[in-house]
Chains A and B, each alone.
Chain A
């Protein structure tokens, strides 16, 4: 009876902000069970006859129910409920206070792989991922770099720094990726003119749109990772200025944006103000066809 009530509440709620529909929720429920079962190999055998084997759970049924209730009642993101997100070939730990990495951002790693496959110097250079959050980009890139290649991952949030460091360690990349705490280029003072590459998925949502976001995002994810100021471009402009200063000659950059308008504004800004150091600007669409990324090089 109760669960019906939650469901009705959820239905009303999600109508308001285009939240997940029942097919997505069913899939999440299946994933929740997968993560809750101790031995994954048993999962595929369940539901068939003759399986009197006992299934050991990581959490009690009561707690599992409460977790799901939070998902429905509070619209807590599924990724926070299970504590992880699957991103590229990685499984990354996430929790409240850390932005959940988005599938769109996976593409930035492809850009980097492409660039380093053609340029041994960049492959062995030092890269920076600013506003690293869970460390997703840093880890994706760290795995693509060659011997001698390193990544500095920075974030202003101590929770992000801890989670990113944990994820880096889980993939045994602590020798290759260094996680630093601080705002944008602040922790990179020793790197001026030395970076082989710079990537970021900075906050880019215009402030006035924050209140209208899907509940999972607006109520639960860290505002500092979403809110990009009046027109959403505060961090992006700052990153462009920093790219001009911190990249070495031939260095590569890739930034994620809110969409077509921001991409164009960003390219205009760089053409007008930073063309003495940055060049070869390109706007790249994500898989949904939205112009999402600005990439380019240092002269």
Chain B
């Protein structure tokens, strides 16, 4: 039954493939052009950060933003869809799927347009927003009573002398939880005014090991180097 119905389909781009296959009467699902659902689109997004968070009110909330669920975070945002206009819905053949999120409490803007589906762009924009919040929103750190938070310990390499085995495996830049650890690490580095050797002492790493951790993520490296540049220090390479 199913086969009969499928046979009626008029495939367009998949047509030549079907006929190239050995048997003309079986549609091969694994040859279907869209069977590779995990298409990796080349990313050409623009991310704009217009953060400014140097007033104390925002410090308090900083970590909390990242602890919100995606939905809660989106609720704090103004969302626009670039170039959307007119009646929408069935009236339009709408190819405009770009999504722009403006996080109202911080003014941080994240957008995504690389995917064909608006829903997927929304997801990417939220992920990007999280990373930007981690990079741009700073909290004060009390160095005298400093104890690294768990989310920071989780992104440290196992050789850190203050990292217990109960912390679990090291979380890398590709993991969503990396943003929280990165935020705590930047808080510390800002507190020691960009000195890597100083910061390394607080988290039980050698200067070299901490540098390598910072260099493992491009956005983290850039943020640290921008700070160092503002203090007249040499960039990490």
What residues of chain A have their CB less than 8 Å away from a CB belonging to chain B? 18, 20, 24, 27-28, 31, 34-36, 40-41, 43-44, 58-60, 63, 67, 77-91, 93, 95-96, 99-100, 102-104, 106, 158-159, 161-163, 165-166, 169-170, 174, 201, 203-205, 209, 213-214, 216-217, 221, 225-226, 256, 258-259, 286-288, 290, 292
Contact = CB atoms under 8 A, between A and B. Distances in A.
B115 interface: yes
A95 B89 contact: no
Interface in B95-150: 95-97, 115-120
A96 B16 CA distance: 18
30 contacts: A44-B42, A58-B16, A59-B16, A78-B93, A82-B13, A83-B12, A87-B117, A87-B119, A88-B117, A91-B37, A95-B11, A96-B10, A103-B119, A106-B118, A162-B5, A162-B6, A165-B2, A165-B6, A166-B9, A169-B2, A169-B29, A170-B35, A201-B90, A203-B90, A204-B90, A205-B91, A214-B91, A217-B93, A259-B87, A259-B89
A87 B13 CA distance: 18
Given A35-B33, A40-B36, A166 B95 contact: no
Contacts of A20: 93, 95
A106 B84 contact: no
Given A40-B36, A95-B12, A161 B90 contact: no
B94 interface: yes
B17 interface: yes
Contacts, number: 152
A83 B118 contact: no
A64 B30 CA distance: 22
Given A84-B34, A88-B119, A162-B8, A36 B13 contact: yes
A91 B10 CA distance: 17
Nearest to B98: A27
B237 interface: no
A201 B10 CA distance: 24
Nearest to A205: B90
Classify the interface of chain B: helix, strand, loop or mixed: loop
B234 interface: no
B75 interface: no
Contacts of A258: 87, 89-90
B96 to A, nearest CB: 7
Which of B5, B40, B41, B89 has the most C-beta atoms of chain A within 10 angstroms of its own C-beta?
B89
Given A31-B116, A287-B79, 13 more contacts: A34-B39, A35-B34, A36-B13, A58-B17, A67-B13, A81-B12, A93-B11, A102-B92, A165-B5, A214-B91, A216-B93, A217-B93, A287-B118
A213 B97 CA distance: 20
A88 B117 CA distance: 6
